[in-house]
Structures are given as C-alpha cells and as structure tokens.
C-alpha cells in the first residue's frame, strides 16, 4: 500500500507541474495579446531576437527613442502578467511543498 500511495502522490505532483507550465504559457500568451501590434513587434524583435533599436525603428517607421519607449511599455505589461503569475504560484505551491515534505518523512 505505501508504494501505491507514493506512486499516486508523485503522479499528482507531476501533473501539477505540467499544469503549472501550461498556465505560465497561457499567461504569457494573454500578456502578448494585450500588446498593440507595434508593442508586440518592438518587444519581440528587441528583447527576444536582440535586433538593434535602430533597425526596428527603420522597419516600423518610428524613431529609435519611440521604439525604446514602445518596448518599455511592452515589458511593463509582460512584467505585470509575470507578477500575477508569481503570486498565484506562491499560493499554489505551499500545499505542494507540504505534501513533498510529508513524502520525504515517510520515505525515511
């Protein structure tokens, strides 16, 4: 019986991890959807693909300073979504941590 119990607990913990990764991805996608097309382009090109601001400015028909501001706004939106996710994860992680601690005590 203890082996079956441990198997069930570990399986549930793994499923929780998978769900958590899915939630992170969905939160990121929601944050990206909240960006305007210009913000999305500036953020992705500069922060993800490391394209120079001058090159992005030429592509978008804006000044480098404007592109820098657009990218900064996009980062703030992404950061707010990330903070929300972190608060939610902290609330969910404490029961998981307790189960894990109990498992470790049981194994010993």
pLDDT in tens, 38-55: 999 999 999 989 999 999
pLDDT of 65 reads: 97
Could you read off the pLDDT of 59-72 as tens digits, one per residue? 999 999 999 999 99
Return the residue matching tokens 């969910």.
92
**Residue-range domain boundaries for the chain:** 2-107
Asked whether the beta carbons of 56 and 45 are under 8 A apart, the reply is: yes
Residue 48: DSSP 8-state: I
pLDDT of 106 reads: 55
Contacting residues for 20 by C-beta, under 8 A, at least 6 apart: 89, 92
Residue spans of the chain under pLDDT 50: none
pLDDT of 68 reads: 96
pLDDT of 60 reads: 95
* Both tokens assigned to 6: 């441990």
């Amino acid at each position: 019986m203890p082996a079956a119990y441990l198997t069930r607990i570990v399986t549930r913990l793994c499923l929780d991890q998978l769900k958590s990764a899915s939630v992170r991805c969905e939160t990121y996608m929601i944050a990206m959807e909240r960006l305007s097309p210009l913000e999305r382009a500036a953020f992705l090109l500069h922060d993800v693909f490391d394209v120079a601001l001058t090159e992005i400015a030429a592509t978008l028909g804006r000044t480098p300073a404007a592109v820098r501001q657009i990218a900064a706004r996009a980062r703030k939106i992404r950061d707010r979504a990330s903070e929300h996710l972190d608060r939610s994860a902290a609330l969910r992680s404490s029961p998981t941590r307790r189960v894990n601690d109990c498992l470790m005590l049981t194994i010993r």
